[in-house]
Amino acid sequence: MRYDFQKIEPKWQKHWLENDTFKSEVDKSKPKYYVLDMFPYPSGAGLHVGHVEGYTATDIVARYKRMAGFNVMHPMGWDAFGLPAEQYAVKTGQHPRETTATNVANFKKQIQSLGLSYDWNREVNTTDEKYYRWTQWIFLQLHKKGLAYVAEVPVNWCPDLGTVLANEEVPEQVAKGYRVERRPMRQWMLKITAYAEELLQDLDDLDWPESLKEMQRNWIGKSKGAEIDFAIKNHDEKLRVYTTRPDTIFGATFMVLAPEHPLVEKVTTSDCKEAVCSYQEQSSLKSELERTELSKKKTGTFTGAYAINPANGQEIPIWIADYVLVSYGTGAIMCVPHGDERDHEFAEVFDLDIVAITDDNERYINSENKENGFVLNGLEKEAGIATAIEWLEKNNCGEAKTNYKIRDWLFSRQRYWGEPFPVVYNDKGEAQALSEEELPVLLPEMSDFKPTGTPEAPLSKATEWLEYEGKDGKKYVRETNTMPQWAGSCWYYLRFLDPDNEDKFCDPEKEKYWMPVDLYIGGAEHAVLHLIYARFWHKVLYDLGCVSTKEPFQKLFNQGMILGYTYRNYKNDKGEVVSHNDAKWKVEDSGQIAYHKETKEELKVELVAPHEVVWKDGKVYHEELDCELEVKAEKMSKSLGNTINPDVIIKDYGADSLRLYEMFMGPLEQEKPWNDTGIEGVHRFLRKVWLLFIDREGNLNESIKDDAKLDKNVEKLLHKTIEKVTNDLEKLRFNTAISQLMILVNELGGKEINKECAETLLKLISPLAPHIAEELWALLGNDPCVCEQEWPKHDPKLVVDDEITLVVQVNGKFRASLKVAKGLSKDELEKIAREDEKVKTHLDKEVRRVIVVPNKLVNFVL
């Protein structure tokens, strides 16, 4: 009977689903284990094999932990609001509610075909009104706490998408070719800056990759320094700057304001006004990303005004430049071109003074004002900073200041497909939050939900919905902006704990039992978006007494990306094919372009479909044109045409093969290119497992006997395998666990084994390849499921080797490696080493000394 995975896998998936095999409830008699995936955005493209990697990893851990005696919760849901869903609906002429439902159904079908052990009783969807009611409730708590406010602020406006973007979202959209510009708009903001210090300090206690923690530290951007007041010549206003190096004030030779700084209009002289206004207009069309790009040429213009350096009384010119952001610090900087690379470049471009402030030994020079006793000359950096701050505070022209780079979270979106705000406006335009009893504020049904192309949001077209009558009988107008996609994903892990609760977002007892998340697996690309936002919301809920832990995710693991192969062809302006060997890439302002390495002409790059590709001698050719192509392993994406649909792999090889292959490709954290030939190897391994149990007639192999006595070496290998697989699963080293199972299966082939050994093997395989393990477990006559059995334990005595490898050296040089019995005396080890033929040839001189390390080494010193 052949290994019929197409019949076996649906059978067990149906069994698990119908029997609620993986249902989880609070059980205080067991230790809990909460394992979580970053729940997916259900796109129209469906899953690709890159998604499968993380889901398989968490599933293996969930299955293993259940068998190891833990009460495991492993839930799944859908992050279904947001910009991509709306764009797809607009493009296809459907309503986003319809496309989202279709996509969710497809994703769920694909996920279930992988045999993932989710508790589907806990399924959540961010677009469900029963879910987003509580998203709105959390917003009201933020509002009550003074952490949600309306402000007229400079925003990243994307005219192509018709919405504003948070700073963190700009790079992704710019990479897609969308324009992003700065403009002032009235928006909802969340005061994440109030939690900057907690977000920073509490990172130290988390079991997260250090690289990811460092990304968050850099994004929060804590710095210590001082704010300094500069008088402005012929004006009453003061110009306040923030600097981490107040000690360098003697080297400040000019000032730079952000183009949006409120002082610009006040201090600009009439002869400079036209140039300043023109520059402000140009800057408004650039995103913060473009403005702060280090490699771009510095631009700016003089305001005609001068500031007075408080340290030495010198007049220094005030400029505006777009590399200074009004949202960071005070929106103004003192420029020390001797000590700052950007300031130095700006000074060189505009021929401004550069004054040295330190010598080659980093000791201060030119840094004194004898009239007031402010002298730094000869001091070291730390002493200089302390002296400068002391002087500033004493003379009332500055103070010590701690600053953070992180900005308040821009929380408004001019889109339809998102959570409505529980907010109305009175006839004076003042925002008023609704009461909790009025939730949820439902998203109105609209046939015309397209963005307006202006800051006016689509919900402004829902005329009946807009009108709201308050309990006081007065007329109000609803907020027309919606929340960003991040709102629903900030707290979904909490709703999983109690998804059907209509009175609370989560029962406190259930939250206290399950939290924090014990293992969270997802991509590193969420480091400064979802992860920092979720930590912020969780900390607010902790301060409100709604959750029992300060942090949501105790252990975080970033899986490496699975890359797909992209095939490229090059053509010149005549449409003629150019060999990829003659094509080169270079980076220009518009991005990467391809050009001919000899003629220098720009080349058109065409992606080639996989079915047009043939491999010859390790090279790739276009079938019709018969020309060699460039091959790159890149992130899987629909636009590159390099995605692999898991449905195809499952149809041809089965879900167990797909699961095993993705885990066997290499360490979970590493990037790995997909290779179809690799899956054939693990599929052969599963067939070998099948044939170990089942003969060609479909009967249990006669080699498996209840009373069979295991060969001593087989028994030792079995217990070594139990030990290694257990340790590897604990450390997420799935590839080495699979390798060890392959060694064991190879050893068992053709040998007589007892039923206990066969059952142990199936238990070890079960988390990794659950379908075949369940089928063989049942064919052995067992009930219930193998996934509900106790995890095997190794015998410590049987994992200790009886033999050791003895290294023999002569004068410290390796001469032989011998297998000997463990525990031999020094004399016995020396005798064995002397008698080895390879060693004898090197003992041609008198042996002056013999060094013996028991169970390890013999070294003859001649």
Known binding residue 638? Answer is yes
CA–CA separation, 2 vs 695, rounded Å?
9
CA–CA separation, 781 vs 39, rounded Å?
38
Instruction: For the chain, report the end-to-end CA distance as a whole number of angstroms.
Output: 65
Chain centroid to Cα 82, Å, comes to: 19
Q: Judge residue 454's burial from the number of C-beta atoms within 10 Å of its C-beta, 0-12 exposed, 13-18 middle, 19 or more buried.
A: exposed
Please enumerate in sequence order all residues whose Cβ is within 8 A of that of 714, keeping only pairs 6 or more positions apart, or say none: 747, 748, 751, 753, 757
CA–CA separation, 763 vs 773, rounded Å?
7
Beta bridge partners of 318: 255
CA–CA separation, 137 vs 604, rounded Å?
52
- For 638-642, which contacts have Cβ atoms below 8 Å and span 24 or more sequence positions? 638/45, 640/564, 640/566, 640/607, 641/566, 641/607, 641/609, 641/610, 642/564, 642/565, 642/566, 642/610
Please enumerate in sequence order all residues whose Cβ is within 8 A of that of 225, keeping only pairs 6 or more positions apart, or say none: 242, 243, 244, 245, 246, 385, 400, 401, 402, 403
CA–CA separation, 521 vs 822, rounded Å?
43
Q: Judge residue 367's burial from the number of C-beta atoms within 10 Å of its C-beta, 0-12 exposed, 13-18 middle, 19 or more buried.
A: buried
Q: Where are the beta strands (DSSP E) in 462-582?
A: 467-469, 475-478, 519-522, 556-558, 562-571, 577-578
How many other C-beta atoms lie within 10 A of the C-beta of residue 236?
7
> Edge to edge, what strands does the sheet with 148-158 contain?
163-165, 148-158, 181-190, 409-410
| 181 SS3 class | strand
DSSP track, 754-775: EHHHHHHHHHHHTTTSHHHHHH
Residue environment code for 5-20, b if the CB has 16+ CB neighbours within 10 A, otherwise e? beebbeebbeebeeee
Q: Identity (one letter) of the amino acid at 225?
A: G
Q: Which of 514, 521, 563 is nearest to 734 (CA)?
A: 521
Q: Where are the beta strands (DSSP E) in 355-484?
A: 368-369, 374-375, 398-404, 409-410, 423-425, 431-433, 467-469, 475-478
Q: What are the counts of helices (DSSP H) followed by strands (DSSP E) for the chain?
A: 27, 38
CB 317 within 8 A of CB 301: no
Q: Judge residue 689's burial from the number of C-beta atoms within 10 Å of its C-beta, 0-12 exposed, 13-18 middle, 19 or more buried.
A: buried
Q: What is the DSSP letter of 212?
A: H
Place of tokens 């010590």: 400
Joined tokens for residue 80:
């279904």
Please enumerate in sequence order all residues whose Cβ is within 8 A of that of 489, keeping only pairs 6 or more positions apart, or say none: 39, 79, 126, 530, 533, 534
How many other C-beta atoms lie within 10 A of the C-beta of residue 306?
20
CB 687 within 8 A of CB 693: no
Joined tokens for residue 740:
């060890």
Numbered residues of the known binding site for ATP: 638
Residue ranges of the binding site: 638
